[in-house]
Amino acid sequence: MLSKLAAESDIASESFELLTTFFGQIPVKKGKDGKYSEQLSKLLQDGFKCIETHYLEFPELNMKASGALLNMLELNFDNFTALNTAKYVVELLDKAIVKEKIDADCVKSLISEGMRLYTVDIIFKRKA
């Protein structure tokens, strides 16, 4: 279904909003082997493709697309990625962390070269 949606040249904003809400809330976890299941890999691959295909059509939904991408990359901890309870140091989310996640073997095979470039821009885009 998602591959058909990605192939569409035009979708409604409600469909894109629903898509990004879905990908912003699904549980994305690796197995004990450090890899995604075959089903989750396919779902994420289709999700990245849908967002890549349609995100420029709906700039008003950039925050939703950003939230979906953060969840899909397992970076959805409210803008920090690690808390060292011994020192209470919060590691803020930055472009280097996102790029590292995109380049991880388990994600690299799921995301197109173009989307690898756009993801950082989508996540860190600020409204003027």
Would the pTM count as exceeding 0.85? no
Answer for the pair 73, 108: CB distance below 8 angstroms, yes or no. Answer: no
Q: Which domain holds residue 25?
A: 2-124
Q: What is the 3-state secondary structure (H, E, C) of 60-83?
A: HHHHHHHHHHHHHCCCCCCCEEEE
**For position 125, what pLDDT does the model report?**
83
Name the domain count of the chain.
1
pLDDT digits (tens, 9 = 90+) for 73-121: 988 754 455 666 676 666 788 999 999 999 998 899 899 999 998 999 9
pLDDT for position 30: 87
pLDDT in tens, 40-71: 999 999 999 999 999 999 999 999 999 999 99
